Amino acid sequence: MKDWLKVFPRGQFYITTTEMYSQSPSQILQEAFDFLDLRKLTQKEVDQFGRAERKYVTKNKEKAGKMLKKTRDILERLYGTFTKELATILDDDKYLW
């Protein structure tokens, strides 16, 4: 991200997370369309996006249950510095775990 921001101003990026999209797909889609200066989606179009088959689905995610604390600790040790740096670069704490 730092390299991209050396070339392009922050205002030229629309950045979201898969979690945010999963929670509010219609809002995120409309925000992306607005960002790209595209027309407002109709409710029918938003519904079509919502019904579209997802290509990349983690089928065993629900069976696996909640992430173990031990696993989260490992991920935090591996990626914590990078997520903190991203949150700082974007000036947005929503990218922190």
Parse the chain into domains and list their residue ranges.
16-61, 66-97
Rounded mean pLDDT of 43-60? 75
Q: What is the pTM of this model?
A: 0.69
| The amino acid at 78 | L
CB–CB of 90/15 below 8 Å?
A: yes
Q: Select from 88, 27, 15 the least CA-distant residue to 96.
A: 88
Q: What is the pLDDT of residue 63?
A: 75
Instruction: Report which DSSP code applies to 60.
Output: T
Does 58 score more than 90 pLDDT?
Answer: no
Q: What percent of the chain has pLDDT over 70?
A: 91
Does 27 score more than 70 pLDDT?
Answer: yes
Helices marked H in 1-97 — which ranges? Answer: 2-7, 18-23, 25-35, 43-51, 61-64, 69-90
Rounded mean pLDDT of 11-15? 94
Q: How many whole angstroms separate alpha carbon 44 and alpha carbon 50? A: 10
Does 75 score more than 70 pLDDT?
Answer: yes
